[in-house]
Amino acid sequence: MIKHLHTPKAAYFFRKTNKITRASVEQMFADVRREKEKPSNNIFKHIKESYNGAAWSSISFSFLQEPSFLKNVPSDLRERIYGFLLMVEYKDHVLVFKSKLDITADFKGKYLQRISTEKVECSIATESSTFEKIRLRSMTTSKYSLQAKTLEAKNLGRIVGPSGSNRYFAHSYRVRHGDDCYSATPSTGRITLRSSGCNHLQLVEWSIKEIDKILSGGTATSSFIRNFARPVELSSIGSATKVTYVSINSSDLYESLFESAEPMRLIKHENGVYTEIDYEAAKPIFKVLETNFAAEYDGALINIVGPNSSNKVGRIVIGKTRISLRSFKISEIEDIFIEHRNHGGALGTKSIELSRYLDKENMFTVLFSDYTMAYIDGSLYRDEFLVDGGGGFLNYIITCSELKNATSEKGNFSATHQEFDPDSVFGIAVKHICHNDEILICDDLLEEWADFIGVSYQTQPRVVSFYHAKHGALSLGATHFHISVSQAIKNLGLMLLEEKLVEEKLKTWGRNYNNDGKKTKIGRIIRGDSASILAASKEVREYPDSIRRVYIVTSSLSKGKVKDVLDDIKKGGQPDPYFVQMYWLLSSYFSACAEVGVYPYVVCQE
């Protein structure tokens, strides 16, 4: 029956770690059948068949599963699913083609290892490749920054330059080689060649061809893909480089639970009883998993500590081929397990601990004191644009000497106040930073776009500026920037000043500013009036050369101290972990603004 197989050239690529015997394949196929509910007789089954120097094994059968759109239905209400699995062995590599069936975790752990990102690139992302689509992941662990983005064009290499690529790595991409169109997801080792369906021997032939291409290793990697963070070996982590932060990739877990075509489910084990955890009940779990966890060293051990405490909640180990989340124990996921929703058995019978699943699926990110590196999706990446100590990072930071006199963010308020206190960040921003704006509006405490919105519309070019103001003690950490960066990135699209939105805003902009339960005489429209605001927003919308700028104004940072740290890094010094976090957070802010044509700045002390 295998002669009727008709499937695309889409496979998962692995490297062999141990010799695969006929008996091991036989056992694996038996385990695959055992995992399914009421499997049928095999439609076909072949073990270690020879073809052109390769060996191929395959199995196909049908099984029952609960319909995905029904829950807790009687056992006789099932749908019959047909699946197949084809495994091709050639030289020291293995390709797996599949639909609805998969090799078991035990077999994979004993015999297979995902091929490296570098090998995928050498095979697919070559210098002759034309990139048509790419999905990028951020190297920052901040939940307030842009985590992922997708770019698509006929030839991305002619459109996307280095300014739009820094601090991102390629999660997946689609390229064209002449008439051939390939897609690759390096984190899973999946490579696809767009084609009509093929029979099993054609798939074996394609496997041989692709493995030979990978083993040749002589093709230059595309200059376009080299713009992004580069995959490097774990041996690149020097003895002086320390782990600083660990975070869980909660968005990946969320997708596997609630958005996947083959969804997982969370279950709680309590008093010998398994109970499924629904979406609402899972929210507290995700809330704690979205925390950034610090790392502390105890001799050679790398411990993970809880937020705002020194309690050990886990440990990571840096091995030769991967970094493992050796343990991760927090109360919110204690006795929480995960399993495939349609595994064919009773609730909890095919489950594993959630912490073990996070490790097994590489759903965590590790940052280092060497801020050019990040370990994400089971691979180590280095952003080459940071190797020189940060490049143009300082160019985004400008100073305002008056900020050293700031004593609060907004100052005090009373019924007689007609302006913000001069020693508040708000007052300093109005008088010394936003002073060139012909129109200035305070949008604080509303459904705010920014603390202040400034427009210069009688100049050439017209300029729109959003200001996000914060106060804090001097620091080189990220604490004071999380909310500002989040708000700045979230509201970039509002800088177009759309007519309907501006008209709606004018209903509140015409009122006085009230805060802390006190009414003041501070007008929200500090400069300008309703008519000039409407005219100005129309001007900046209609003129194609209008400039848009975003400013994070803070008293908590000193440009001089940042420069000192960057200078020390260039000399070989290691920055404080908190500086690394701040650097990544602000870098993601700069990058997000550059992608949409907005000029980002940080205004701080000298």
User: Residue 565: what residue type?
Assistant: V
Helix (H) or strand (E) holding 216: helix 200-216
Taken in order 89, 234, 127, 121, is the CA torsion positive or negative? positive
Name residues whose C-beta falls within 8 Å of residue 21's C-beta, 6 or more positions apart in sequence.
none
Is the torsion defined by CA of 137, 139, 141, 144 positive or negative? Answer: negative
Cα-based distances in Å from 296 to 239, 332, 449, 576: 15, 22, 39, 13
Question: pLDDT at position 394, please?
Answer: 87
Contact (Cβ atoms closer than 8 angstroms) between residue 363 and residue 253: yes
Give the pairing type, strands 264-270 and 336-340. antiparallel
What pLDDT is recorded for position 112? 95
Query: Residue 471 has what pLDDT?
Result: 93
The structure tokens listed for 41 are 């007789």
pLDDT for position 219: 65
CB 313 within 8 A of CB 293: yes
pLDDT of amino acid 393 = 80
Model pLDDT, residue 384 = 65
Average pLDDT, consecutive stretches of 10 residues, N- to C-terminus, the chain (606 residues)? 93 95 97 92 97 97 87 82 97 96 93 88 86 86 67 86 65 92 91 92 96 80 82 84 86 81 85 88 87 86 82 91 90 89 77 92 86 83 63 85 95 92 95 93 91 92 95 84 83 91 93 89 94 92 92 95 85 72 79 83 95
Instruction: Identify any residues that bridge with 80 across adjacent strands, giving them in sequence order.
Output: 64
Of the candidates 250, 533, 231, 486, which has an alpha carbon nearest to the alpha carbon of residue 382? 231
Give the pLDDT of residue 33. 95
- Residue 589 structure tokens: 């802010």
Report how far residue 12's alpha carbon sits from residue 188's, in angstroms, rounded to the nearest whole number.
7
Largest Cα–Cα separation, the chain? 90
Q: Decide: 243 and 302 in contact? Cβ < 8 Å.
A: yes
Residue 171's alpha-carbon distances to 147, 164, 174, in angstroms, are 11, 15, 11
Residue-by-residue DSSP string for 9-72: EEEEEEEESSPPPHHHHHHHHHHHHHTSBS--S-SEEEEEEEETTEEEEEEEEEEEE--TT--S
Q: Is the Cβ–Cβ distance between 397 and 562 less than 8 Å?
A: yes
DSSP-assigned letter for residue 115 = P
φ, ψ of residue 36 to 5 degrees: the values are: -105, 155
Domain segments of the chain: what residues?
Answer: 2-112, 118-232, 242-369, 393-605
Beta strand pairing status for 301-305 and 292-298?
Answer: antiparallel
Return the pLDDT at 146: 65
Q: Put residue 262 in one of left, alpha, beta given phi > 0 → left and psi -120 to 50 → alpha.
A: beta
Q: 169 burial class (0-12, 13-18, 19+ CB within 10 angstroms)? A: buried
